[in-house]
Structure formats: structure tokens, C-alpha cells
Structure 1
């Protein structure tokens, strides 16, 4: 999150291929090293360095795709690229939980991917031919401007600011559900009396998240490509409507967790499917409303904002709210028990309601994601007012 703007600056000025290779090497090695740490602070340091490595790749890779492809072909390639995020997250739950279970230690969940990362580094160095910035749009050689000037121009672009705000809401919801979702569902399963199924929840959650990504990410891109020639503002409409349609499904998923896990997982699937419609489209919006020489900087800025206010903050906020609700619920329970005529009955009630109160507290906290989705949807719909003009301005500037 913090290093995104730095790699954005470097990505607009230096070799993107080597910056990406460095990032993948860093996160592969630090992931592996972190799994061997026995001291908390050393573990935290290596996990932070994983994020630094990811920042290099996340800010630079989309800009290379933008310089290799243009138009609907670019949209297809971005859909394929961002396809990896929900699918990778789902596989993380599946492979991580099963590897840890098979080998008897969570440490092994961190030792699976580094080898794959090093294979990716080899492919980047040997097979990637880095294109010139703006090559796909026929802009020729473009000189980089100062970082301050880049920031001023990026912030002046209303489409970029609004789409970043909307995507921050997407990241907020995705982060909250991925962090708290499995634990919340485990509490719901336990309340239903199926405690033997608790251990499989993370695996099933990963399957649902992965399938929703497999369908949702390319679906958003396909709809946009089909309708762009008729509706110029379709990208903003799809993102806005997608978030608004996701909202009721997320609400129902949270509500039904106590009553029916199959229904809950069904609602999660559709909620995340509509949420996933936005991933590749937001990336496409950034690339066509920002000049080629500033795209890595814009990616870094978007990464910083969306993570800071989105998936980095949402798990903590949900946890704080859950604890506050739990204090309120326990207070009401204790007050009720105090008025009871039987000490034995009071103790029994307190014991039987403890798990229910924990579930309710987390449930009430998770409902905030629904409000955030509505806010995000409105950001994207307002963005529709500016997106065409900002895109045309970039096209005119490139061909001047």
C-alpha cells in the first residue's frame, strides 16, 4: 500500500520488466522466509515485505498490457489478468487450508507459492518484450514529466478520482468478506448444531469465491465490450449497477448464515459475482482516462487509496464494531440475567447466549458492507457524467 506510489513513479521512468521481476522475487522469497519465523516482529517484517513486492507488480503490469493492446482487445487482456485476483484468492483458501491440514502446520500454507513465483520471474525475464509507453495507441515516444505535475494532472481527472472512490468501496467489501466471512460462517454453522462441518467452511468459502471470480470478472468485461458501441458510458454503468445489485445478495448472505448455510453460500456467490464485475473495468477506465506516461503513477495512487480506505481498513473496522456490539449485547444479557429469580437459570442463559451474542455482534458489523456498496455504486454512476469527455481528451492529446 505504502510503496505503490514509489513503484508507480519508477514504472513511468525505468524498465518495467525488471521492476516486476524484482517484485515477484521479493514476495516469493519473503513469503518463504516468513514461514520459518518464530518471532512475531520478524514474521511481521517479512509479511510486510511481501506487500512491497506485490506493490511493484500490481502498479506496473496493467500498464504493460495497455501498451501491448488497445480497445476491446485490451479489455479482454485486462479481464484475463484480473481474473487471477478472485481465482487466486479462492485457491488460497483451498490450497492453503488443505496443505496445512495435510502436513499438520499452517506454516506449509506459505511454502506452496514461492516456487511458482520464481517460475513467473523466469517467464518475465526471458519472454516479456517491454513495449514503449503508449505504443498501442500510436503515440510514439513520450517524455516523462515531474512527479508533482503527474499528480496534479491525475487528481484533476474526475473519472479517475470517482472510479478510484468506487473501487475503494469494492476493496472495502472484498476485504471485509474475505477476512471475516469464513469465521462468521463457522459461527453460524455451530449455532445450527453442525459443528462437524466447521472445519470445511474455509474450503467451501474458497470454492464459492473462486467460481464467482471465474464467472464475474470476464462477464463484466464481455458485457462492456458488447455494449460500448451503443452506450459510451457503459463502463461506469456496469460498475455502479454491479455494486447496487451485489448489495441485497450480501445482505441476505449475512442474514441467512444462522439459518441455512446452502442459502448463505448461494447468496455469497451472487453477491461476489456482481462485485467481481468491476475488477477489469476499473483498470480499463484508468488506462484510457490517464496519459500513458502517467499510468503507473496513477496505478500506484489508486492502489494506495483503495487499500488504505478499503481492504486494509475494513477488517479492522468490522472487528472494532463487532466488539462494540458484543459489549452492548452482553450488557443487555447481563441485565436480563440479573432480574432472573434463579441463579442457576441465569448462569445457564448466560452460557447459552454467549455464542449467539458473538454471532450477532459480527453479523451487525458486517451489515456495514451493504451501505458501503451503495455508496460505491453512486460513485460509479456519478462517474458516468465525466468518463466519455475524459477519455476523448486523452485521445486528442496522444494524437496531437
Structure 2
């Protein structure tokens, strides 16, 4: 007779915890498939709808970030009181439906509204998932569990880029949204069936209060924690670079290296998917391993990785060769993704079980308002300005007018100017990683004082 599977705490076996984590991983992966598709498809969208890089940046940035960030807090409060798996399932259904509607958009306004819907749906998935993971796994395994969960980001980014590029190559950009959106509907049933009821605070040393603390109580606790402030600042700047680069990487590859959209999806998938996955897992496992001896490494490992990422990105965007650019950008992306698991593992350790969904949503609110809100528009603004200055065509029309639908005589000048602009935007934003490294280093020092 085989022994019963081990349990972490009463009622939940390690097998059940692992299966639930796998479902949460798939859910997070689906959110990034839907989110990443827009970046790959924005060049054909730009030409069909007549958009500027600034408008594309708004669509990928503030339009998504504001509601994604602000809606996560009220949904997190629901997750403190009600079934977390049902909240995740409802959010998954809604954002998948909105992704499908992106493919039916006829104007910029239609697409904007659909993206707002995607952001509202995706807002609720992360805080509830983080709260579940903190109750599924003990503290010494939490960094690894969060790294595995966050592995959905690079896997989803890879699949979203590769599938969107392939589908757009075959049938156009609208077909990509119409195919990818409904895939999420299948996952709704898995969420409801395979995630068990998980008692809150299973691994907390003190009895759990039956009433969750108020939002202001959680905010005051986090605001008064110096390590949290530094982690939030550092992570926000990393996300600013990461989301900005991810949003415009397909455009960079098309303009600077002359690739077709099908090729772009594969390379963007390798950079934002495979490389990001390596960095995500390394960050979580390394922080858990070395953090047992020195808790400061939860901040110092990501800080060192940001310093390494900066020259990789700058050289990757500046070089003219596709192969060295791809290798350098993959290395830089792997480095920046190391921040995720250590940062969230420490935030979970700062609060008790009835605060974790709210604490996670507060951190998401901060990093996404800064990162998503400013990253893509900043690149778009620099790109538009530098492209206009570099345009070697009819000065009476200017870059924006002459290159909207360029005549054959202007095609080369427009291509050269747009390539120069996108390179400048990508290089400029990459330098912000040096700033983020300072905050992550200071976060490690603050942990030593509070831990």
C-alpha cells in the first residue's frame, strides 16, 4: 500500500498544491498571450488605422495601465473576502472576451475600448493568484512557487508573439485576436475544477483574524516599511523599461532590421519569452537559496542583474547585426526578469494572510502605473521626435505627413528615419535600469534592518 502524499498543512496535499499552481500558471500565461499580441500586431494596425507611435504607445501604455492598476485594488479586496478561484475564473472569461473584440475593432476608438476591457479583466487575476500561492506553499518554498507562476509571463509572451505573428501572416491582424481570445474560455473550467478551497493563513505562526484589515491599514503598513518603498521604486523602473521594450520590440525589428511580421513573432518570442523565462526562474530559485543565509540577497541579486542588463540592451539596440542584437537583447531580458519573484516573495513576508491580495495589488498598482503608464509612451515620444529630426525628405511636409503613405521616392528616407527614431527610443529607456539598480540595492539593505 503506497504512502499517502505529503501535506503542507491540513487538507491540502503537495500534489493538489502543485496542480493548482499549474492551473494558475496557465491562467497567467493566457493573460500574457492576449497582452503581447498587440505589440506584434501594432505595425499592420498602425498602417490600417493611420496611427502614430505616440498613439501606439498610449494604446500599449496608459490606456491599459490605468484601469489595470486601479481596478486590481477593489478586486483584491473582494479576494480577501470571497472565493479566489471564482474571481480568477470570472476575470479570465471577461478579458478573453475583450481580446476577441479587439479583432472586430474598426477604428482607434473601438480598439481602445476593447483594450480597456482587457485591462479590467486582467486586473483581478494577479492579486487573487498571489494570495492563493501564499497559502498553498510555505514561506521557504514561496519564492520558487512565485517564480514558476510568473513563468507564465515569458511563456505567454513567447506564444503570444509567435502565434500572433503567424496568424497575422496567414490571415491578417484581426484573425490573430479572433483566434487567441476564445482560448481563455477553455481555462475557465479548469480554474473552477482543479483549484481546491485553500484555508487562509495556513502557514502563519499566529491565529488568523477572521476579518481582513481595512485597505488603509494595509496601505499604512506598506508605506511605513522602508524595504517595501525601495522594492516598489526599483520594480517600477524595471517594469517601465521592460514593458516599453516589449511593446516596441516588434516595431524595432521591422524598421531597423527589415523583418517580416512572421519572423518578428519568432524573435520577439525568443527575447520576451525564452530569455524572460530563464531570468524569472533564476531570480526565484537564487533568492530562495541564498536568502536563507542573507535576506539582503532578495534585493541585491536583482540589483546586480539590472547593472548587467543595461549594456546588453544599449548595445543590442545600437548594433546593426540581427544575430548579435538578438543575443544581447535575450541576455538583457533574462537579467531584468530576475526582480519578480524576490520582490513579491518579500512583500508577502511583510504582511499577514488577510493582507496579501491587497498588498500584491498595491505593488501592481504602483509598478504598472509607472511602468505601463510611462514606458511605451516614452519610447513612442522619443521615436517620433528623433524620426522627424532625422527625416531627409520634403521639409515642407515633414516626417509625419510625408511618411503616412509615402510615395516610392520617399520610402527609403522614411524607412531610415523611422529606424533611427526607434533605436533612439529603445536606447534611451534602457539607461533607466541603472536607476532601478540603486533602489533594489537599497531594498536589500533595508531588509537587513527589518528582517
Structure-1-length-normalised TM-score: 0.86
List alignment gaps of at least 5 residues for structure 2.
1-68, 397-407
Change (3 A) 1:125 1:139: farther
CA distance in 2: counterparts of 1:198 and 1:109, whole angstroms:
12
> Of 113, 117, 121, which residue of structure 1 is paired with 2:184?
117
> Of 106, 112, 115, which residue of structure 2 is paired with 1:38?
106
CA distance in 2: counterparts of 1:136 and 1:238, whole angstroms:
26
Question: Which residue in 1 is equivalent to 2:92?
Answer: 24
Change (3 A) 1:237 1:105: same
SS, match of residue 106 in structure 2: coil
1:189–1:198 contact (8 Å) kept in structure 2: no
1:19-45 deviation line (CA, Å, top 9, x unaligned): 111111111222223323435434432
Question: Which residue in 2 is equivalent to 1:204?
Answer: 267
1:32-66 deviation line (CA, Å, top 9, x unaligned): 23323435434432321111111110121011100
SS, match of residue 212 in structure 2: coil
Give the count of matched residue pairs.
Answer: 371
* 2:442 is the alignment partner of 1:382: yes
> How many angstroms does 1:177 deviate by?
1.0
Pairwise CA RMSD? 2.4
Question: Which residue in 2 is equivalent to 1:357?
Answer: 417
* 2:303 is the alignment partner of 1:248: no
* 2:196 is the alignment partner of 1:136: no
Q: Which moved more, 1:84-93 or 1:326-335?
A: 326-335
> How many angstroms does 1:378 deviate by?
0.7
List alignment gaps of at least 5 residues for structure 1.
336-347, 393-400
> How many angstroms does 1:285 deviate by?
1.7
1:229-250 deviation line (CA, Å, top 9, x unaligned): 3222111011111111111100
Matches within 5 A, 1:1-400: 1-102=69-170, 104-142=171-209, 143-190=211-258, 199-256=262-319, 259-330=320-391, 353-390=413-450, 392=451
1:246–1:271 contact (8 Å) kept in structure 2: yes
2:240–2:372 contact (8 Å) kept in structure 1: yes
2:275–2:334 contact (8 Å) kept in structure 1: yes
> How many angstroms does 1:276 deviate by?
1.4
> How many angstroms does 1:174 deviate by?
1.3
Structure-2-length-normalised TM-score: 0.77
2:239–2:372 contact (8 Å) kept in structure 1: yes
SS, match of residue 278 in structure 1: helix
Change (3 A) 1:105 1:327: closer
Q: Which moved more, 1:113-122 or 1:74-83?
A: 113-122
CA distance in 1: counterparts of 2:163 and 2:412, whole angstroms:
35
Change (3 A) 1:356 1:44: closer
Question: Which residue in 2 is equivalent to 1:345?
Answer: none
Q: Which moved more, 1:310-319 or 1:246-255?
A: 310-319
Q: Give structure 1 regions of 4+ aligned residues with deviation exceeding 6 angstroms.
A: 331-335, 348-351
CA distance in 2: counterparts of 1:110 and 1:38, whole angstroms:
13
Q: Which moved more, 1:226-235 or 1:270-279?
A: 226-235
Q: Which moved more, 1:231-240 or 1:263-272?
A: 231-240
